[in-house]
Amino acid sequence: MKGRELPEWYLQEPVLLPGEDFYVRAFYRLSADRSSSNIGVGCIPYTSRVLYAERAGFDGCMVDAFVDIIRLIDGRYVSLQEERISKEQRRLKAEGAKASQGSSTPAGA
């Protein structure tokens, strides 16, 4: 990126502590199991989180901790996606209202 500033999202990217990359990778892999519909983004299913933890070699309270950590990450992700969708819907509604006002103006006015 010669002569260009780094994007804001890149500059604000958090620094991960050792081992945290495991949870980030798990979250992205588990996101493929997420359900979605025309009303929004769904959460990663509990059973998917448990199975992933067990396949990673976790047992007992470590499975529970993994499930909770992914639930927290996923909850924030879903919340941000819902905000983004809501903002986009408001923008489209405003554009539609503006367009309909413009089309109701008599010709030659």
Q: What is the mean pLDDT of each run of 10 residues along the chain (109 residues)?
A: 77 85 95 82 94 96 97 93 86 83 61
The torsion region of residue 108 among left (phi > 0), alpha (psi -120 to 50) and beta comes to left
pLDDT of residue 86: 85
Beta-strand runs (E) in 5-45: 36-37, 40-41
Mark 71-84 as b/e (b = at least 16 C-beta within 10 Å).
eebbeebbeeeeee
pLDDT of residue 104: 58
d(CA 74, CA 7): 24
Domain-wise residue ranges, the chain: 18-93
Cβ atoms within 10 A of the Cβ of 67, count? 19
Structure token pair of residue 107? 């010709």
